[in-house]
Amino acid sequence: MALTWGAALICLGVLGCQTSASTTPRSAWVTLDSPQHAEGHSWHVNDAGQVTLVLSNPRSGQALGAVVHGQWRGGILDIPCVELAPDPEVVTSSTTHAHLLHAGAGLGRWAGCNSLNYLAEGPVLHHARQHGVVDVAGDGGWNVERMEALSPGLVLGSPAYDLSTRGWPMVPITEYLEAHPLGRAEWMVPLAWMMGDSLAGAQAFADIRDRYEALKGQGMTGAQVPIVLMGSVADGVWHAPGQNTFVSRWVEDAGGQYALTEEDHDSNVALGLEQVLEHAAQCDLWMMVVQDPDSFTVSDLLAQDPKHRALLEATDEVWVCNTAKHDYFGALVVQPDFILEDLQSAMQLGLVGPHGTFKPLSSP
């Protein structure tokens, strides 16, 4: 979101409830501001002159919800609308949401989280401990009693959650469907806007964007373009991000060619071992994302399936990002330049990058 609108958006006032109905065409609204890289949020002026944040699915474009500061003053809406009270306390359903808040407007009104157990050591977890952020995890994802006791003014959740029957002010956050690493990070701007400090979010994102753009494409002039595939394995099935995902964009921005041409609009592409071996034979580097409390080695890969030896023989290089050591789904979402720089080091120089997020698969 452009900095020029920051001060104007901060000034809007806010009440915590939801409304939904049908008919008034949103297509008639004036677009106030669109993000630079994200596809899942934008600001508009509704038919009553009220600034409205519209949240959508970045891949399909389907609008999922709206947010306003104060009571809704427009006509009948065809999507749910959350009306924000001043200084709302917020509950998050993902560690990513907490890191986006921390990077933008800060964690001052973070009251609860249903994924505290997945937070990696760092400033966000330290804040949760120091300030008593409530663990609201429970059956079906939520501890209803704790949520009712908190009575948050805002719940950041996945579109998969249907909280409408409980009357909780849930806002669908779809950063994980963005097709650009900067698109994911840019979600800190609407989160900061909801917290009443859009200027802080916009400035924080601008700094991240500038670092990323300064790195993009470095060092690849005249060099051979490496073919790269990134993925993970679970229960014998390999899963890889398809084309038009933030992972494929990372590879391309680092100077490589992403190997997978398939695309899945809802999730990663599932691959059988035979398909994996076909791709591996064409790849210069295979980048694996794993989760291991110690270290992930060749022995660990073969313990999953002895047939993986064929993968090692088919691929020139195998590199590993261990999410138990590097917060791939949390802090690194707001540090996309770290991943980019480390991919450049691995792909261009065969060296571990300055942030150590990817390392060669080691022998036991």
CA 139 to chain centre: 24
pLDDT surpassing 50 at residue 176: yes
Q: Cα(185)–Cα(1) distance, rounded to whole angstroms? A: 12
Q: What is the pLDDT of residues 34-70, one digit of tens each?
A: 899 999 999 999 989 999 999 999 999 999 999 999 9
Confidence of residue 11 (pLDDT cuts 50, 70, 90): very low
CA torsion 326-332-337-343 (nearest 10°) is 40
Amino acid symbol at 123: P
Q: Cα(155)–Cα(167) distance, rounded to whole angstroms? A: 11
Structural fold of domain 1-215? Rossmann fold (3.40.50)
Q: Cα(290)–Cα(303) distance, rounded to whole angstroms? A: 14
Q: Cα(241)–Cα(222) distance, rounded to whole angstroms? A: 28
3 state SS of 7: helix
Confidence of residue 364 (pLDDT cuts 50, 70, 90): low
Tokens of 90: 């917020």
Which of 3.40.50.1980, 3.30.450.40, 3.40.50.300, 3.30.70.360 is the CATH number of 219-360?
A: 3.40.50.1980
Q: What is the pLDDT of residues 203-226, one digit of tens each?
A: 999 999 999 999 997 866 666 889
Q: List CB contacts of 71: < 8 A, sequence separation 6 or more.
A: 15, 83
Examine domains 1-215 and 219-360 and report if their fold is the same: yes
Q: What is the pLDDT of residues 231-274, one digit of tens each?
A: 888 777 888 888 889 999 999 999 999 988 766 555 678 888 88
According to DSSP, the β-strands at 154-157 and 170-172 are parallel
Q: Where are the domains of the chain?
A: 1-215, 219-360
Q: List CB contacts of 22: < 8 A, sequence separation 6 or more.
A: 76, 77, 78
